[in-house]
Structure 1
Amino acid sequence: MTGPTRTGDHRAMPVPDGVEGERIDSAMARMFGLSRTRAAELIADGNVTVDGGAAAKSDRLEAGSWLEVTLPPPPEPPAARAEPVPGLSVVHEDADIVVVDKPAAVVAHPTVGWTGPTVLQGLLASGVELATSGAAERQGIVHRLDANTTGLMVLAKSEAAYSVLKRAFKERVVDKVYHALVQGHPDPLRGTVDAPIDRHPAGDGRWAVVAGGRPSVTHYDTVEAFRAASLLEIKLETGRTHQIRVHMSALRHPCVGDHLYGADPALAERLGVRRQWLHAVRLGFEHPTLGRRVEFESPYPRDLEAALELLREE
């Protein structure tokens, strides 16, 4: 039996007032979260019309004109394959869940363009059977960590656990606690960032605080202050892509080593940090079948601990 066929996404709408007078490639980038290069490719391939006529990327849009865009289907993500992942450790396993401590340079599941190791690869290689609900390449995945964010992840082994955990994350009843080393000293030392997040208008893979984005709430508290940086404990209400990194950058206190979001490379070099200093240190939730609260903790990886030791010696 073959799987479902992926079809393109056809969109038709009047040109909004907010992009009147803009070049069509620039306007499409803003409207659909594309890069200008990708928008220009769609136009060149004949996938864009204005008032029924073929468009050129340099055309200027008029409000009220009828814009039609066909977005080709995204490429299929690669299937997960069993392959040992060095550094991936199992913190807890029972019939319904498995909790892992994820190392750096590992993503949760296979994605288009990623050729490195994944959590799923490592678990499959160790013989762990995961729930099959959802997309095949994301079996058992109920939440994710960025590739270079280390720490705790829970995955579902049973279908019942998958359903319960997905709902728990959606309803924000999971305690997700991170430690982050950020540049400078946040003022106030304890606070909440409530700012919507969406794709960065540049279309370059970053996310940003954007009006009209998805609601995103981050609570932080200073644990330890150093001369050039602060160690924060961070609790998430929501779980947006890059949420902590985006919110800390918006406060002008990016995670040390997070060059994508404006961190100082000189400080990272001095501390020997080659990725964002961000670690999922605690994870707590109601066990999906046992009905009792469980909580797990993860120590700092050696590279993050070494950076703190250097700061304490200053």
Structure 2
Amino acid sequence: MNNQEVFEFYVEQEDVGTRIDVYLAENMEDLTRSALKKIIDDGNVTIGGKNIKSNYKLRVKDFIQVTVPEAVSVEILPEDIPLDILYEDEHLIVVNKPKGMVVHPAPGHYTGTLVNALLYHCGDELSGINGEKRPGIVHRIDKDTTGVLMIAKTNMAHQSLAAQLAEHSITRKYYAVVFNGFQEDDGTVDQPIGRNPLDRKKMAITQKHSRHAVTHYKVVERMKNFTLIEAQLETGRTHQIRVHMTFIGHPLLGDLVYGPKKQPFKVEGQVLHAKVLGFVHPATGEYMEFEADLPESFQKVLERLQNS
């Protein structure tokens, strides 16, 4: 267990009374419930240094330590999972990722990921720069975020696309439903994002160990108590739109991590869709842009809000 990871959480007032297994499932998205149960049952979750059971109810200022054992080497296998392919050639592939699909394998998620599907579809035609667990993966979107994602087949394509991401030249437009109305029609959030010092599974606006982050937003449609916005990323930090919109008082509908704990409409996960992705083709030098229609789940939420 040389490379075991330790995660630490401080319990806030709003989480008092929540079962520890439920709390950890919300705050450790990369782990499945079964993986978390095993970690708890094996005595790898402590509060104040004492082992606790999965039905323990949190108290204010509880200090939780979760030790995740080093992952056993797992072979990532191809799986025949349908892909919604928007474009493909010998250099790259562009897909429309569905809701609930994890992009690449991680502890507790070694099957059913986009990488498993890509290995089946592309065989060994995926770039190896990010290692065997993340072949071809240049960027990622969260499990519950839907929409356009580009994957590199060759190392040359990977390096080119990664360089474009680094210099912020890639077009990335997202649609999101957020709480509350806006007085303005558009705006920009320019606030640095880093790990939340009290909870390293969450991101936060912070000056310490943070990175420059800029999100441009504009109102697409105003509805009662909610707004449909388009958010364009200038930078691409983890959870950037979710953190920035919460910071200005407009958390995403369905976002249990950064938004209210009680959510209307029983939506599962944040209502966020990567709608447009544009980049310069690594081989041809041509600018290409792809758009993914709003998924059915997103459209249903919109219809309910428009009719309310």
TM-score normalized by the length of structure 2: 0.75
CA distance in 1, matches of 2:290, 2:143: 20
1:165-212 alpha-carbon deviations (Å, 9 max, x no partner): 111111111001100100111343311111111112222621111122
Other-structure match for 1:51: none
Change (3 A) 1:297 1:38: farther
- One-letter code aligned to 1:278: L
**Contact 1:268–1:274 (CA<8 Å) still a contact in 2?**
no
The equivalent position to 1:103 in structure 2, one of 92, 98, 106, is: 98
Q: Does 1:223 align with 2:216?
A: no
**Contact in 1 for aligned 2:253/2:259 (Cα 8 Å):** no
Question: Aligned residue for 1:80?
Answer: 76
CA distance in 1, matches of 2:74, 2:283: 31
Matches within 5 A, 1:1-314: 75=71, 78-86=74-82, 88-115=83-110, 117-128=112-123, 129-203=125-199, 205-212=201-208, 213-263=210-260, 265-269=262-266, 273-314=267-308
Q: 1-side partners of 2:225 and 2:85: how far apart?
A: 35
CA distance 1:181–1:112, shift in 2 (3 Å): same
Structure 2 CA distance for partners of 1:74 and 1:177, relative to 1, 3 Å: farther
Q: Does structure 2 conserve the Cα–Cα contact (< 8 Å) formed by 1:150 and 1:278?
A: yes
The alignment partner of 2:244 has SS state of helix
Work out the CA distance in 1 between the residues paired with 2:72 and 2:165. Answer: 26
- CA deviation vs aligned residue, 1:46-89 (integer Å, no higher than 9, x gap): xxxxxxxxxxxx9xxxxxxxxxxxx9996467443211235x31
Partners of 1:265 and 1:8 lie apart in 2 by 36
> Counterparts of 1:291 and 1:304 in 2: how far apart (Å)?
34
**Cα distance in 1 for residues equivalent to 2:138 and 2:75:** 17
Segments of structure 2 that go 5 or more residues without pairing to the other structure are 10-27, 29-44, 50-62
Once residues 121 and 3 of structure 2 are traced to their aligned partners in structure 1, the CA distance between those partners, rounded to angstroms, is 37
Is residue 108–residue 144 contact of structure 1 (8 Å, CA) maintained in 2?
yes
Amino acid aligned to 1:224: E
Length-normalised TM-score, structure 1? 0.73
Shift in Å at residue 268 of structure 1? 3.3
Q: CA RMSD in A?
A: 2.8
**Closer, same or farther in 2 for the Cα pair 1:75/1:203, shift >3 Å?**
farther
Which of these two proteins has the greater Rg computed from alpha carbons? 1
